Amino acid sequence: MGSLVFVYGTLKKGFPNHTRFLGAARLVGAFRTVSAFPLVLSGERCSPCLVDSPGVGRRVQGEVYDVGHRTLATLDRLERTAAPDGYHRRSIDVVPRGNETAERLRVYAYLKAPHLVDAPPNATLSEYTPALGARYRPRG
């Protein structure tokens, strides 16, 4: 097994970045965060951001993928983890959707520092949907 990564936005199946970055990765399943986090659409690009403010917002739904070290490094570059205004990768706990009493799974997720997010206050989501995805604009 490689690294387990929780994706909640454009990397989910059916969204713009999935095929390019996770097309060969193994889907583990649909999961939900154990803690609440703010999931928001940030900036003019309407980029989905999971804000690193555990306990605030809602429990977020997404997918977990088993990825190798090369894919993890590629995701780090995509999420700009080395940039001061990029995301950071940290471990969070998730449980399978529909089975809240199941054992927690420790996974990586890409989160953004609260001061870097440009989103209306209290605009948190529980799931990034295709309708929201239609508003997304890739980095130019």
User: Cβ-count burial of 49 within 10 angstroms (0-12 exposed, 13-18 middle, 19+ buried)?
Assistant: buried
The answer for residues whose C-beta is within 8 angstroms of residue 136's C-beta and 6 or more apart is 10, 15, 16, 45, 46, 47, 48
| Among the listed residues 2, 112, 136, 7, the one whose alpha carbon sits nearest the alpha carbon of residue 50 | 112
Q: CATH code at 60?
A: 3.10.490.10
For the cut 70, the answer to whether the pLDDT of residue 121 exceeds it is: no
Structure token pair of residue 123: 């605009």
Is residue 82 included in any domain, yes or no? yes
Domain ranges, residue 12: 3-131
Is residue 137 included in any domain, yes or no? no
Structure token pair of residue 137: 């604009």
pLDDT category at 128 given cuts 50, 70, 90 is: very high
Q: Count structural domains, the chain.
A: 1
Is residue 17 included in any domain, yes or no? yes
How do 105-111 and 88-96 pair as beta strands? Answer: antiparallel
User: Cβ-count burial of 101 within 10 angstroms (0-12 exposed, 13-18 middle, 19+ buried)?
Assistant: exposed
Quote the mean pLDDT of the chain: 94
Is residue 114 included in any domain, yes or no? yes
Q: Which of 47-51, 52-56, 118-122 has the lowest mean pLDDT?
A: 118-122
Is residue 103 included in any domain, yes or no? yes
Rounded-to-integer distance, Cα 8 and Cα 40, Å: 11
Is residue 101 included in any domain, yes or no? yes
The residue from 44, 63, 79, 127 that is catalytic is 79
Is residue 140 included in any domain, yes or no? no
Is residue 136 included in any domain, yes or no? no
Rounded-to-integer distance, Cα 122 and Cα 127, Å: 15
For the cut 90, the answer to whether the pLDDT of residue 103 exceeds it is: yes
Whether 79 is catalytic is: yes
Rounded-to-integer distance, Cα 80 and Cα 120, Å: 23
pTM: 0.94
